[in-house]
């Protein structure tokens, strides 16, 4: 009799575990909507990158997104990104004939964008959660990193 009661108690603890294990959603399912929205924005060739943070290996600074963004209209790229405030430099991005290479990895839900302008080489990686990581390489050898987001225009 004690064995039966013990088995019933053990079984009652295992049932909720089995039910919750079946209802968990994977990370891929969780971010599917965000990934598809980002993918649609980039495929439209009318989107903007809005920078929220500039960072490097030693420091990090929060930026005003209204003043740190650039827009992509097919091959035209227009906007500006600020450097660290102590440098007081604004990187103006303007090119009517930029070269843009985009790739989508549906398996890992990663989007990669390479933009080559007359003055900058811009690399953007968009993660499944919608965060966009931009590297701005100046043809003068400068390199800056930004974190932000992509918005469809």
Q: Specify if 86 maps to a domain.
A: yes
H/E segment holding residue 100: strand 99-105
Instruction: Provide the domain count of the chain.
Output: 1
Q: Specify if 87 maps to a domain.
A: yes
Q: Specify if 11 maps to a domain.
A: no
Q: Specify if 61 maps to a domain.
A: yes
Q: Specify if 65 maps to a domain.
A: yes
| Domain span holding position 64 | 46-152
H/E segment holding residue 4: helix 2-23
pLDDT score for 98 = 95
Q: Specify if 28 maps to a domain.
A: no
Per-residue pLDDT of the chain in tens (153 residues, 90 and over written 9): 677 776 676 666 665 555 555 556 777 888 889 999 999 999 999 999 999 999 998 999 999 999 999 999 999 999 999 999 999 999 999 999 999 999 999 999 999 999 999 999 999 999 999 999 999 998 888 899 999 999 999
DSSP 30-92: HTHHHHHHHHHHHHTTEEEEEEEEEE-SS-EEE--GGGSEEEEETTEEEEEEE--TTTT-EEE
Question: Residue 139's domain is classified under what CATH number?
Answer: 2.40.128.410
Q: Specify if 93 maps to a domain.
A: yes
pLDDT score for 8 = 72
Q: Specify if 102 maps to a domain.
A: yes
pLDDT score for 28 = 80
pTM for this prediction: 0.81
């Amino acid at each position: 009799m004690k064995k039966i009661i013990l088995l019933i108690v053990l079984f009652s603890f295992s049932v909720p575990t089995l039910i919750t294990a079946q209802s968990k959603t994977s990370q891929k399912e969780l971010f599917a909507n965000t990934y598809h929205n980002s993918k649609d924005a980039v495929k439209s060739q009318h989107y903007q990158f809005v920078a929220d943070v500039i960072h490097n290996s030693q420091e990090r600074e929060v930026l005003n997104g209204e003043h740190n963004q650039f827009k992509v209209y097919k091959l035209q790229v227009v906007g500006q990104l600020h450097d660290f405030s102590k440098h007081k430099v604004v990187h103006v991005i303007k090119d009517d004939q930029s070269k843009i290479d985009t790739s989508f990895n549906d398996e890992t839900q990663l989007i990669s964008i390479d933009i080559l302008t007359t003055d900058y080489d811009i690399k953007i990686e968009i993660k499944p959660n919608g965060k966009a990581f931009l590297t701005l390489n100046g043809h003068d050898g400068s390199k800056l990193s930004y974190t932000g987001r992509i918005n469809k225009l």
